[in-house]
């Protein structure tokens, strides 16, 4: 009997050791009790957190964090771009702000086509003609007007100081400056400060941006849209062949929008509405996969990948046809995220064989007429939560830098469909709903999202990554909800992506098993492991039932959680 007991104990200890070896212990991100900012740079997360420590709320912190990213992360943080914010107040009230760029008044549907009707792709991506009317400064002032609680100088002076005193270049930043140096030269025809050979650990100071911010502190939103900054910006753009005028700037307005809301099991998901496709596509995909038991199939296992891929393919096909600026096109949002419609979309799906994208079109709705970005999440000690994604579109936007003002300008015009059926820089196909028109906002994939569970705040999440934004947000939510991961593990987990066309599943390189690829190929899926395709960096906060929060900061970048 004793011998049997000893044998059983030995077996138990052996099996414990084996399972520990197979499954690494969960990794948790920063844990705090009161407040947190998770953003692409430590400096920006710290400035936002300090604002909250000094009595500010999450919205005050948003104003400061957004501008601090423009200083410390010029790759995507900006004054010359735009973005979207989804929020949930401590009393449960929700909302969304659209400060997306707009097409200039002088823009035309065919402005990026040559005399043969072919797309001149560089024209919408590099230099002055690629620039949409910027929305970021209007966005932060709209947030401040509605929710701000501290004086604006308390929010922005630390940011101006950061620009004047400088930021420390990271290794990843050094590599990016090097990678884009020829394009900087091509767009600017000259050298610009960040091409002066900065290396990791060097300090990059931006006194011109500090001056711009100081004028904005003094004169408010009008400084950017009507004042000296506006004049400098327009003169600069016009000297480079751009078409944005003082009238374009004066007419710009950020807009409050109704967020998209839908249920996934016991979660209430609140995400960005058009002109971003993020919330609608996320809703479509999550409702299409809801009937399947992903937990049973397992994280990143064959059937899970098939189910997600097939739902993604169908949602991105709909995206290309139905979605655009809601002020210009009618979008059947309720139908697109309804159970009935999505059941019909998944008809024909089988685990036996891939549904080829060539056989999929947008769904038929009776009666219907017809890139680099950065994300941050903030939760304050009062329970307010915000989720913001902001962008210049491509890395450093149009690469055009305004030396007198100290910032880059977007190339967001490339997010329009220059010619129906032609892919943009993310390979996304667009149709009439996203054709260019004066003052129209271009379609986005940005998916700032807030999630409630049991009527309480559960998660704030989002990411950059162009067309891969939606699928990265999706997988990170599922990693926590279905696969029981911590917030940090959910962010760290390898990701994949499908967007209807091109008809391939894109995998993060060297993170998935070759055997899995063979199994997928046998069922008719195309596999791609291209380095650049999945460029998402998810930044999120998970709130536990006892109110403690965990940050998920994506180590694919320099992203950092700071809180207290």
Active-site positions?
373
Which residue, 225 or 416, is less far from ligand GLY as judged by CB?
416
Which residue, 217 or 281, is less far from ligand GLY as judged by CB?
281
29: contact with ligand GLY by CB under 6 A? no
Instruction: Give the range of 41-49, 190-198, 220-228, 440-448 binding ligand GLY by CB under 6 A.
Output: 440-448
Query: In 323-351, where does DSSP find H-type helix?
Result: 333-336, 339-345
Rounded least distance, CB 469 to ligand GLY, Å: 6
Q: Which residue has the tokens 């007429």?
A: 369
Q: Please report, for the chain, how many H helices and E strands are present, in that order.
A: 19, 21
Residue 93's contacts (CB-CB under 8 Å, 6 or more residues apart) are: none
Kindly identify the residues of this chain, within the stretch 395-424, that bind ligand GLY according to CB under 6 A: 415
Report the residue from 373, 434, 463, 504 that binds ligand GLY according to the rule CB under 6 A. 373
Q: Token pair for residue 89?
A: 């107040």
CB-neighbour burial class of residue 265 (10 A; exposed 0-12, middle 13-18, buried 19+): exposed
446: contact with ligand GLY by CB under 6 A? yes
Dihedrals phi, psi of 454, to nearest 5 degrees: 50, 40
Residues 266, 235: Cα–Cα separation, whole Å: 53
Residues 127, 402: Cα–Cα separation, whole Å: 11
Residue 63's contacts (CB-CB under 8 Å, 6 or more residues apart) are: 140, 143, 144, 148, 152, 155, 156
Report the residue from 74, 134, 466, 563 that binds ligand GLY according to the rule CB under 6 A. 466
Which residue, 332 or 466, is less far from ligand GLY as judged by CB?
466
Residues 548, 401: Cα–Cα separation, whole Å: 42
Rounded least distance, CB 35 to ligand GLY, Å: 28
Kindly identify the residues of this chain, within the stretch 485-524, that bind ligand GLY according to CB under 6 A: none
Report the residue from 49, 393, 434, 471 that binds ligand GLY according to the rule CB under 6 A. 393
Q: How many CB atoms lie within 10 A of CB 299?
A: 18
Kindly identify the residues of this chain, within the stretch 85-124, that bind ligand GLY according to CB under 6 A: none
Rounded least distance, CB 202 to ligand GLY, Å: 29
Which residue, 48 or 275, is less far from ligand GLY as judged by CB?
275
Report the residue from 65, 229, 444, 460 that binds ligand GLY according to the rule CB under 6 A. 444
Greatest Cα pair distance in the chain = 92
Which residue, 126 or 267, is less far from ligand GLY as judged by CB?
126
Which residue, 393 or 449, is less far from ligand GLY as judged by CB?
393
Instruction: Give the range of 1-9, 109-117, 444-452, 545-553 binding ligand GLY by CB under 6 A.
Output: 444-452
Which residue, 273 or 445, is less far from ligand GLY as judged by CB?
445
Number of residue whose CB is nearest ligand GLY: 444
Rounded least distance, CB 161 to ligand GLY, Å: 30
Instruction: Find out whether 130 and 123 touch, Cβ atoms under 8 Å.
Output: yes
3-state secondary structure 495-531: CEECCCCCCCEEECCCCCCHHHHHHHHHCCCCEECCC
Q: How far is CA 405 from CA 80, 207, 212, 510, in A?
A: 10, 9, 6, 42
Helix (H, G, I), strand (E, B) or coil at 373: strand
Rounded least distance, CB 322 to ligand GLY, Å: 16
Report the residue from 136, 377, 445, 449 that binds ligand GLY according to the rule CB under 6 A. 445
Residues 395, 371: Cα–Cα separation, whole Å: 8
Instruction: Give the range of 35-43, 304-312, 443-451, 524-532 binding ligand GLY by CB under 6 A.
Output: 443-451
Instruction: Give the range of 156-164, 374-382, 432-440, 442-450 binding ligand GLY by CB under 6 A.
Output: 442-450
Strand partners, 192: none
Which residue, 391 or 492, is less far from ligand GLY as judged by CB?
391
Rounded least distance, CB 270 to ligand GLY, Å: 19
325: contact with ligand GLY by CB under 6 A? no
3-state secondary structure 350-371: ECCECCCHHHCCCCCCCCCCCC
Total number of residues that touch ligand GLY (CB under 6 A):
9
Instruction: Find out whether 61 and 37 touch, Cβ atoms under 8 Å.
Output: yes
Report the residue from 371, 381, 489, 529 that binds ligand GLY according to the rule CB under 6 A. 371
Report the residue from 49, 107, 357, 391 that binds ligand GLY according to the rule CB under 6 A. 391
Which residue, 445 or 472, is less far from ligand GLY as judged by CB?
445
Instruction: Find out whether 495 and 475 touch, Cβ atoms under 8 Å.
Output: yes
Using CB under 6 A as the criterion, which residues of the chain lie in contact with ligand GLY when the complex forms?
371, 373, 391, 393, 415, 444-446, 466
């Amino acid at each position: 009997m004793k011998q049997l007991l000893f044998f059983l104990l030995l077996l138990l200890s052996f099996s414990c050791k084996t399972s520990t070896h197979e499954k690494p212990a969960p990794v948790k991100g920063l844990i705090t009790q009161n407040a947190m900012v998770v953003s692409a740079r430590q400096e920006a997360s710290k400035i936002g957190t300090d604002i909250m420590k000094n009595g500010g709320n999450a919205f005050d912190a948003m104003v400061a964090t957004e501008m601090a990213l423009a200083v410390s992360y010029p790759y995507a943080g900006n004054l010359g771009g735009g973005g979207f914010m989804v929020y949930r107040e401590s009393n449960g009230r929700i909302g969304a702000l659209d400060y997306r760029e707009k097409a200039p008044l002088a823009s035309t549907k065919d402005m990026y086509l040559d005399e043969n009707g072919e797309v001149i792709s560089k024209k919408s991506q590099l230099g002055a003609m690629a620039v949409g009317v910027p929305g970021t400064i209007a966005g932060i002032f709209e947030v401040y007007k509605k929710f701000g609680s501290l004086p604006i100088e308390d929010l922005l002076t630390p940011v101006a100081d950061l620009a004047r005193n400088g930021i420390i270049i990271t290794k990843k930043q050094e590599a990016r400056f090097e990678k884009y140096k020829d394009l900087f030269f091509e767009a600017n025809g000259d050298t610009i400060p960040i091409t002066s050979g900065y290396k990791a650990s060097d300090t990059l100071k931006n006194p011109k941006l500090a001056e711009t911010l100081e004028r904005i502190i003094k004169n408010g939103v009008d400084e950017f849209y009507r004042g000296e900054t506006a004049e400098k910006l327009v003169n600069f753009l016009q000297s480079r062949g751009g078409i944005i005028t003082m009238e374009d700037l004066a007419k710009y307005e950020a807009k409050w929008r109704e967020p998209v809301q839908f249920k996934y099991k016991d979660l209430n998901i609140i995400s960005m509405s058009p002109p971003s496709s993020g919330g609608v596509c996320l809703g479509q995909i999550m409702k299409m996969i809801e009937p399947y038991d992903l937990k049973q199939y397992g994280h990143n296992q064959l059937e899970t990948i098939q189910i997600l891929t097939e739902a993604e393919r169908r949602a991105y096909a709909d995206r290309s046809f139905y979605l655009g600026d809601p002020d210009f096109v009618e979008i059947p949002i309720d139908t697109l995220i309804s159970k009935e419609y999505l059941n019909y979309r998944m008809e024909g799906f089988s685990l036996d064989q891939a549904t080829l994208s060539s056989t999929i079109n947008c769904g038929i709705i009776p009666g219907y007429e017809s890139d680099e970005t950065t994300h941050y999440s903030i939760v304050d000690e009062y329970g307010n939560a915000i989720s913001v994604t902001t962008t210049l579109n491509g890395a450093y936007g149009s690469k055009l830098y305004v030396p007198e003002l100290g910032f880059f300008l977007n190339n967001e015009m490339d997010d329009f469909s220059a010619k129906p059926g032609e892919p943009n820089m993310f390979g996304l196909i667009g149709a009439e709903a996203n054709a260019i028109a004066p003052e129209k906002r271009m379609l986005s994939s940005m998916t700032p999202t807030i999630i409630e569970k049991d009527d309480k705040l559960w998660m704030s999440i989002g990411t950059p990554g162009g067309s891969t934004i939606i699928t990265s947000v999706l997988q990170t939510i599922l990693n926590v909800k279905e696969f029981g991961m911590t917030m940090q593990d959910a962010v760290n987990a390898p990701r994949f992506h499908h967007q209807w066309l091109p008809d391939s599943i894109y995998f993060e390189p060297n993170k998935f098993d070759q055997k899995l690829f063979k199994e997928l190929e046998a069922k008719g899926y195309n596999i791609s492991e291209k380095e650049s395709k999945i460029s998402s960096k998810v930044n999120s906060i998970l709130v536990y039932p006892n109110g403690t929060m965990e940050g998920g900061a994506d180590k694919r970048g320099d992203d950092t959680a700071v809180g207290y």
